[in-house]
């Protein structure tokens, strides 16, 4: 694909260089010829905390989800094992990787927060921004590290509980309703709604995606990470085995 086409389609408009990264940034990298992007929280020192499906969870379904799920497992381009991460025995759930393993040979893109409704609608591709504001970077990093330590973000699901959901929660602490439902990341929302959105006008489909954004939802509430973990333990969805 040519760079002009990729920029027009919104694939590379958020690209950022390593030297511009700041601790607390929500970053992502495109996978599988720009079909899907993997998201995480950059915490500084070339380290990223992110949420993965790990050892083959839900692969073998015979659907497009197989490629998506395999693509979020961290891989180091070159040496194996990675000289920074070492031999990884567990890549399941919330993990910390070096930036190179997170990128898996791809480029770095910065997820945008506090975008205007007009800018959100103008974006040709979902999963790159939200209207919701970000919390201060210290809170973002603390939240990500807490979830890493507790591994308490539940089971990975490409459409209902994925890496983008994890990163957005770390940045905003926003969940939906009393049951702490995830806001559902933009790219997952686009995939799950594609069948019937295709019947609408382009503006109509984008308007629906706008009001589905976590920053626009009236039922989105701030949930402290400790409360999220407590609920995970109470419902048996925590992955912490210690």
Catalytic residue among 38, 53, 129, 170: 38
Q: d(Cα 206, Cα 228) in Å, to the nearest integer?
A: 30
**Is 163 noted as a catalytic residue in this protein?**
yes
Could you give the residue ranges of the DSSP H alpha helices within the chain? 3-8, 65-71, 99-103, 117-122, 137-150, 163-172, 186-197, 202-212, 225-235
Q: d(Cα 241, Cα 230) in Å, to the nearest integer?
A: 14
Q: Is the peptide bond before 81 cis (omega within 30 degrees of 0)?
A: yes
Judge whether 61 and 42 are in contact, CB under 8 Å.
Answer: no
Give the burial class of 147: count Cβ atoms within 10 A of its Cβ; 0-12 exposed, 13-18 middle, 19 or more buried. Answer: buried
Residue appearing with tokens 């839900």: 58
Catalytic residue among 82, 101, 129, 163: 163
The contacts found for 15-18 with CB under 8 angstroms, 24 or more apart, are: 15/107, 15/108, 15/109, 15/110, 16/108, 16/109, 16/110, 17/108, 18/99, 18/108
**Is 38 noted as a catalytic residue in this protein?**
yes
Catalytic residue among 26, 39, 50, 76: 50
**Is 4 noted as a catalytic residue in this protein?**
no
Question: Catalytic residues, which ones?
Answer: 38, 50, 163
């Amino acid at each position: 694909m040519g760079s002009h086409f990729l920029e027009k389609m919104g694939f590379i408009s958020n690209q950022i260089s390593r030297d511009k990264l700041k601790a607390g940034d929500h970053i992502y990298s495109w996978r599988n010829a720009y079909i899907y992007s993997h998201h995480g929280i950059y915490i500084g020192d070339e380290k990223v905390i992110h949420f993965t499906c790990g050892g083959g969870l839900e692969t073998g379904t015979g659907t497009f989800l197989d490629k998506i799920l395999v693509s979020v497992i961290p891989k180091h381009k070159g040496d194996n094992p990675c000289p920074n991460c070492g031999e990884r025995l567990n890549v399941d759930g919330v993990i910390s990787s070096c930036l190179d393993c997170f990128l898996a040979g791809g480029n770095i893109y910065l997820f945008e927060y506090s975008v205007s409704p007009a800018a959100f609608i103008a974006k040709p591709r979902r999963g790159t921004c939200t209207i919701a504001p970000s919390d201060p970077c210290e809170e973002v990093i603390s939240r990500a590290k807490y979830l890493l330590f507790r591994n308490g973000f539940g089971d990975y699901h490409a459409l209902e509980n994925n890496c983008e959901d994890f990163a957005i929660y770390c940045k905003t602490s926003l969940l939906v309703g009393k049951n702490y439902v995830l806001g559902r990341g933009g790219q997952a929302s686009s995939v799950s709604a594609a069948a019937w959105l295709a019947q609408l006008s382009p503006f109509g489909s984008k308007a629906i995606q706008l009001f589905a954004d976590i920053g626009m939802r009236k039922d989105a509430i701030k949930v402290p990470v400790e409360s999220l973990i407590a609920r995970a333990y109470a419902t048996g969805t925590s992955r912490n085995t210690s």
